[in-house]
Amino acid sequence: MNILVIADAQRYDELQQRDFSRHQVQWRTSLEEVLSVKAFDLVIDLIFDDRPDHAAVYARNPGVPVLAGIVKTSLSQVMSDYAFEQGFNIMGCNFLPGFISLPLLEVTLMDDGQQEVLADIMHQLSWEYTLVADATGMVTPRVVCMIINEAYLTAQEGTASRADIDTSMKLGTNYPFGPFEWCERIGVKHVYEVLKAVHDATGDDRYEVAALLQTEYEAI
């Protein structure tokens, strides 16, 4: 396949841990640099969460499937915000930093009609994936970011140091990373924005951002 990747350098580097040897890949840091999306068989947009306006371009090119990083909103919200009169071609993926190179990709679809297209794409890419419901935060990002938030609450109370919290979580739960290690991999900005988006969408107090985490976000 001829694949267009829209990504910042960090996420593109992580994406390259996957095997693209059987495909042609063009990397751009901005969709504005691309003359025509129609020249590609597939678009992988790792920064869609930060540039949802890209949807307007994809809506004008319904024949090109798009794997888009959509964790801070939902596919239904994207469809509501932009006119997809000729067909909805976006599939939401967990493309947060730290998750891109993991063996199993979390994907959400707008309707069952996209399943065949997705299965064909994933077969050609040789990627393993799992389908989850269309909801802000998806599944794994919600859980991981909520754990990170709880760790920040514990740290701001002075109950334990960050290193001790990471160690205890790894020993007690057999997690590969502690919550602050996860936060470093994902980035404070993304953790904060996922938590805020989920809290705004659900009103669930479990996702209310810890004061210490908000302070670090504001200092970026």
pLDDT, position 4: 98
Does position 6 have pLDDT exceeding 90, yes or no? yes
> Where residue 65 falls among pLDDT bands split at 50, 70, 90?
very high
Average confidence (pLDDT) over 120-124:
98
- Is the CB of residue 149 less than 8 Å from the CB of residue 207? yes
> Where residue 174 falls among pLDDT bands split at 50, 70, 90?
confident
> Where residue 161 falls among pLDDT bands split at 50, 70, 90?
confident
> Where residue 17 falls among pLDDT bands split at 50, 70, 90?
very high
High-pLDDT (> 70) share of the chain, %: 100
**Measuring CA to CA, how many Å separate 45 from each of 27, 57, 67, 158, 172?**
10, 12, 6, 40, 36
Does position 159 have pLDDT exceeding 90, yes or no? no
Average confidence (pLDDT) over 138-144:
97
Show the 3-state SS of the chain: CEEEEECCHHHHHHHCCCCCCCCEEEEECCHHHCCCHHHCCEEEECCHHHCCCHHHHHHCCCCCCEEEECCCCCHHHHHHHCCCCCCCCEEEECCCCCCCCCCEEEEECCCHHHHHHHHHHHHHHCCEEEECCCCCCCCHHHHHHHHHHHHHHHHHCCCCCHHHHHHHHHHHHCCCCCHHHHHHHHCHHHHHHHHHHHHHHHCCHHHCCCHHHHHHHHCC
pLDDT, position 168: 86
> Where residue 182 falls among pLDDT bands split at 50, 70, 90?
very high
pLDDT, position 176: 83
Average confidence (pLDDT) over 124-141:
97
Does position 172 have pLDDT exceeding 90, yes or no? no
pTM of the model: 0.95
